[in-house]
Every structure is written in C-alpha cells, then in structure tokens.
Structure 1
Amino acid sequence: MRDEAIDDIVQEVLLSVTGALGRFRRGARRGSFRGWLRRITENKIRDHFRRCQHQPNAPGGSANIAQQLNIPAEHISNDPSSISLTHSSSDVMAALDSIRETISEQTWRAFVLVTFRDFSPTEAATELNITSNAVRLANGRVRHRLRDLLPDVPR
C-alpha cells in the first residue's frame, strides 16, 4: 500500500472515531476500546480497497506530465547533470503551481479534467456547467502560460 493511501485511511479512522466516540460504550457484550478501534480500522481498510476496485489506476510521474502536455520526453529530465535545455518534473510542477495561483478555479479544473483525467472538452463542459468552447480556451490558456514559463519546450 502506498504511503498516501495509509495516510488517507488513518485520517478516515480518526474522523470516524471522533464522530462516534460519544456513542462508544464499554461493556462485556460490546468489547474493549481497542477492539472497537480495530473494527473501525478494518472497515476503513475494506472501504479503501472497495473504492480502488472501481477506480482505474491513473498514470503518474514526469513522463505522464510530458505526454499529457505534449512535451517530448527528452525535455523532461530528472537527471541534474543534464547539460541540455531540459526541465525536471519539479520544474514543470513549479510552473503549474505558479500558473494555478494566477487563474480561476474553473479554468484550472477545466485544464485538469482535459489534460490529466482524459475528459473530452464536451465531458469537461458538462462536469463544470460551461460550454465546451470555454473548456478549450481554458485548456489553451494554461498550456500557453506553461510554455511561456518553460520557453525552450517546443510548441
């Protein structure tokens, strides 16, 4: 299990415990606090795996970012000794973070849906309750700003 999944499960357990703590009653038929906590934890782990069964595995990493943004893979490098004009995934992520700070949440969500979640502009428009043309413009706006921040990436 990935560390992020474990952190999520721990958080869900803590939320569940804090919400139900007032209803906990210790007794011979009900068991101990540890047993109660264990049942909650086991249920949250089961819930996690049930959710995972219904969700496709999303590709990640700098190679996926490059592919989604139509940046040739040779322009995304994690090798700090690389002499050519390349960008590490941290450069791309830093650029995306700075772009996100300057645009509306709706523009960012349109970009993410189309670029990273493989929504068509029409599907993203339906999800965001805007026109598909607005989705295309938003996506283009973010991509244009990314290329402005990383000028040696081919257009």
Structure 2
Amino acid sequence: MAAKPDLKDSSTSHSMLDGMKAGDSGQWDRFALLFTPLIYQWCRRAGVEHQDAADVTQEVFRAVAKNLGDFRRSREEDSFHGWLWGITRFKILDHFRAAAKRPIATGGSSALVEWNRLAENVPEVLESKQAKHDIRTIYRQAVELLNTEFEPSTWQAFIKVAVDGRLPKDVADELDMTIGAIYNAKYKILRRLRSEFQEFF
C-alpha cells in the first residue's frame, strides 16, 4: 500500500497572514490557536485577573481583525509580534481604565489606586529577553498546528532532531529510517513553518 502523502506542500500553500487578509475563516481559527496562549500570558503578566484575561484577549482579536490591513513592515525592526503587542497593550490599558470607572463599592478608593498603578506599569515595548521567550512560545504553538499534516514517522523524526536536539544517526536507528529520510523530514517541516508562519517570527 502506498504511503499517505504529506499534506499542504509549501510550494503551493499561502501564509496564514495572506489567508487572514483574504478573509479565510480557517486561517483565522488557526491564528487564534497560535496566539491565544501568548496574548493571555501578556494580559496576566500585566496584572489582568484570570477571569478578565480571556475577555481582553477577545478584544485584541477584534482589533486585529479590524486593523490587519494596516499592518506593514516599513522598517527592518518592524514585526507582527511587536504590532500585536501594541494592540494588546492598548486593550489592557482600556481594561484598567474601565475598571477604574466602576462603582467605588467594588473596592473603594484603594481599588482605584490599584487599577491606576497597574495601568501605569504596563510597558510600552517588550524587553528583548521577553520578546525572545514570546517568539519561542509562538514557535511551539506553530509546530503543534502542523502535527496532523505529516506522517507520524516524519513528525517524530522532526521532533527528535529539531526540537529535542538528538543526532540524526541515532534517530534514524531508532525509527528504522535512513539518515537522508531524517534530514528530509526536518527540511519539509521547517519549510512548512517558514511558508506559513514566517511573518510572525
């Protein structure tokens, strides 16, 4: 029986961002899976309570849908990651401002002081160290999104070599594959990652 072919060869697939701009609902769903964990982390890191972080995240997605056509990489240092953080920061500040206007009975003047303090401490930009951690978070999510698109042996080879850092020869022996097949598996999946997600890294 012939082996099942891998899906979505990168030579024909479009990037997720292209699909989103074209109104592809499937790509919007994948975008939500890719970025929800990161946006939620940003909200919690800024001091947004657990029960409110999901609501702020939804507000971020609405803003992205409305403004995606405005995203441009005019300068080398511009990134989607930075653009998304800017939107998220704005929505976090909106959340704190709205909380500060709620009836005093929900916490008195001390609550108002706390909301204002949290708003004042939301950074304008991400620190480079934190940005690198966030990129790794996005990368891990992107890898997981591709899991079902490849044969199990191809996927296992990629994870063991590219993610776990094991030697191709050892992985080839373990999976009963040739070393050439191991390198090919790594190449095919990395090519898919670049094809669909490169604009996000």
**TM-score for both structures, normalised by structure 2:** 0.33
Q: Which has the higher helix share?
A: 2
Structure showing greater Rg: 1
